[in-house]
A and B are shown apart, each in its own frame.
Chain A
Amino acid sequence: MTQLDRLSVYHWLNAWCIKPVGGALVRQEPEYILLALMGSPLKKIMLCSSEKEIFSVEEQVMVQHSVIINNMIEDGSYNHEESKIPLDCVDSKTLKKVIDYCTHHTHHHNDNQEDLEAWDAQFLNVDSNGLYDLLMAANYLEIRNLLDLIYGTIKNMIKGKKIDEIRRIFNIKDHGFTPEEEEQNRKEYPHFY
């Protein structure tokens, strides 16, 4: 059974947790049913932020989203009992957000598009600092859909806006052009300004 199937079964069992025991229907914990059916509990992995804080996440969730972590687990270099994955480039606050994103998308991947997009928009309602930290974390962990989401957001900050607005949004106080160059730009491309 593939990794992903286990997760779906887990959630299905969670919702319909009944198992006949001795003729009566008894509610069982899903982990034990999974254990009985497939012989291993739902795996969790440990991620360690740059501030040495440890986060415990379902393995399925991270493996599904992060290419780096998927490779690490598949390599077999990760020992579930002892190891933790050190992520020195990511601080705790950002790591928590990343984990939040991955968990939500794994658990709600069957939701309709609008709800997901609304959640994503709410998720990215952070200040610029947080946004760039998220971008670098997603880049480091190679989480494709989060990367696309953040690049799209930054692209929309540029698209459709005039140059002075863009400079204000990104706080580019000094554009670095000589006065003559700036004037020439304004003359050649007035529709940008």
Chain B
Amino acid sequence: MASSSDFALSVPSELESVLRLRTVDYFITRRPWLDLYGVNVRPVAPFGSASRKPYVESALIHQCLPDELLFEVFARMTPYDLGKASCVCRKWRYTIRNPVFWRVACLKAWQLSGVVENYRILQSKYDGSWRKMWLSRPRLRTDGIYVSRNTYIRAGVAEWKITNPVHLVCYFRYMRFFPSGRFLYKNSSQKIKDVVKFMNFRSSKVDSVFGGHYTLSDDKVEAAVLYPGMRPTVLRIRLSVRGTTPGANNRMDLISLVTSGVNNSEASAPEEDILGVVEGWRDDETHNPDVPAVSHKRGMTPFVFVPFDQVETSVFNLPVEKMDYYVPG
């Protein structure tokens, strides 16, 4: 039976009320097809399909492997690879439709909301389907880095024949999110393939990677990161997540970016309290008179998501002259 211990569903007591919904009927209704487990199920292709003739199974994996073992293979894949595998053939698609995969992925990705809240949202917004939640609910991807490329023009020094030189300067904002509620921020002109190895918690302030905390409600991200030092500053970032295709979650639009001063007691508070410290601050509020609050208006290009396996080949590595300005969709 395809229920290894990794996926055993043990329901905590606080979920009793949530389950008093139609999904409970799902578990007690008779299901004759459960007897098919352990048997190689060959889904019948629909009428128009080319495969309606007597079915000859060519794939060795389908001839040899019982369905539970195929399930185990899929259990070790990321949701992205699961989506890809469900396009390979009908049998794989039906195996991957199993809500267990999507439940595990959802509870991990939205762990900040908590299990009870996730179940509640599942019932109210997504009809009890974890797969629908995975595809429609906005989430911050953790398998790569969000990059915002900003450019500006500055005047250069006039040389012999070049009378009015301008330089096109390009800098990047890098953000990497973790499911635990932390994120890393770096603002630099270095290319993404050089920056990616520093975007982890082993980096120090010397690499100018700063760590902060964030929350996600619906598609709105509230993030705060403290820049320590002589004049401690807090950077408050508000973003909204969207995707170019459903479930892609590969774009973030900057709603506001504010740097303000914090006083000494706030600066020395533990890192995880930073969101609590800045909660409810107005846009122009600052707690250190030496550091005025600045709401940035430039350098607000939308963030584009680059998965780790595309970091080396991403267009963001191109030098300024070769850049294509239409990347954010």
Instruction: Spell out A's residues near B (CB within 8 Å).
Output: 128-129, 132-133, 135-136, 139, 147, 151-152, 154-155, 158-160, 163, 166-167, 170-180, 185, 188-189, 192
Complexed CA–CA distance, A192 and B48 (Å): 24
- What's the tally of chain B residues with a CB closer than 8 Å to chain A? 33
* Contact of B59 with A by CB under 8 A: yes
> Given contacts A139-B69, A166-B88, A189-B83, could you give 14 more A-B pairs where the C-beta distance is less than 8 Å?
A129-B64, A135-B65, A135-B69, A151-B76, A155-B76, A158-B73, A163-B88, A171-B58, A172-B59, A172-B62, A173-B59, A176-B49, A177-B45, A189-B87
Q: Which of B44-75 contact A (CB under 8 A)?
A: 45-46, 48-51, 55, 58-62, 64-66, 69, 72-73
- Complex interface: chain A residues within 8 A of B245 (CB): 188-189
Q: Among B55, B73, B83, which residue has its beta carbon within 8 angstroms of that of A154?
A: B73
20 A-B pairs within 8 Å (CB atoms) are namely A132-B61, A133-B64, A136-B66, A136-B69, A147-B72, A154-B73, A158-B73, A160-B309, A163-B87, A163-B88, A171-B58, A171-B59, A174-B51, A174-B55, A175-B90, A176-B43, A176-B49, A177-B45, A189-B87, A192-B83
Complexed CA–CA distance, A160 and B81 (Å): 8
* Contact of B89 with A by CB under 8 A: yes
Given contacts A132-B64, A158-B77, contact A174 B50 (CB under 8 A): yes
Given contacts A129-B64, A155-B77, A180-B48, contact A173 B85 (CB under 8 A): no
A175 to chain B, nearest CB (A): 4
Are B90 and A176 touching (Cβ within 8 A)? yes
* Contact of B191 with A by CB under 8 A: no
A64 to chain B, nearest CB (A): 20
Closest A residue to B89 by beta carbon equals A175
Complexed CA–CA distance, A154 and B89 (Å): 16
Are B60 and A178 touching (Cβ within 8 A)? no
B94 to chain A, nearest CB (A): 10
- Complex interface: chain B residues within 8 A of A139 (CB): 69
* Contact of B287 with A by CB under 8 A: no
Hey, what's the 0/1 contact readout for B68-104 against A, CB within 8 Å counting as 1?
0100110011100101110111110000000000000
Complexed CA–CA distance, A180 and B85 (Å): 18
Instruction: Spell out B's residues near A (CB within 8 Å).
Output: 43, 45-46, 48-51, 55, 58-62, 64-66, 69, 72-73, 76-78, 81, 83-85, 87-91, 245, 309
Given contacts A132-B60, A176-B90, contact A158 B65 (CB under 8 A): no
Closest B residue to A186 by beta carbon equals B87
Are B49 and A170 touching (Cβ within 8 A)? no
- Complex interface: chain B residues within 8 A of A177 (CB): 45, 49, 89-90
Closest A residue to B70 by beta carbon equals A154
A159 to chain B, nearest CB (A): 5
A180 to chain B, nearest CB (A): 7
- Complex interface: chain B residues within 8 A of A171 (CB): 58-60
Complexed CA–CA distance, A139 and B43 (Å): 25
Are A176 and B91 touching (Cβ within 8 A)? yes
Complexed CA–CA distance, A192 and B85 (Å): 9
Complex A-B, nearest 4 residue pairs according to Cβ-Cβ distance, in ascending order: A176-B90, A132-B64, A173-B58, A175-B89
Complexed CA–CA distance, A8 and B95 (Å): 44
Are A178 and B83 touching (Cβ within 8 A)? no
Closest B residue to A148 by beta carbon equals B76
Are A158 and B59 touching (Cβ within 8 A)? no
Closest A residue to B246 by beta carbon equals A188
Closest A residue to B245 by beta carbon equals A188
Are B89 and A167 touching (Cβ within 8 A)? yes
Complexed CA–CA distance, A155 and B59 (Å): 16
Are A167 and B69 touching (Cβ within 8 A)? no
Are A178 and B89 touching (Cβ within 8 A)? no
- Complex interface: chain B residues within 8 A of A163 (CB): 84, 87-88
Q: Among B64, B66, B89, which residue has its beta carbon within 8 angstroms of that of A172?
A: B89
- Complex interface: chain B residues within 8 A of A147 (CB): 72
Q: Among B51, B69, B85, which residue has its beta carbon within 8 angstroms of that of A158?
A: B85
- Complex interface: chain B residues within 8 A of A152 (CB): 76
- Complex interface: chain B residues within 8 A of A178 (CB): 45-46, 48-50
Closest A residue to B90 by beta carbon equals A176
Looking at A152, A170, A177, A179, which has the most chain B CB atoms within 10 Å of its CB?
Answer: A177
Q: Among A128, A136, A180, A188, which residue has its beta carbon within 8 angstroms of that of B60?
A: A128
- Complex interface: chain B residues within 8 A of A188 (CB): 245
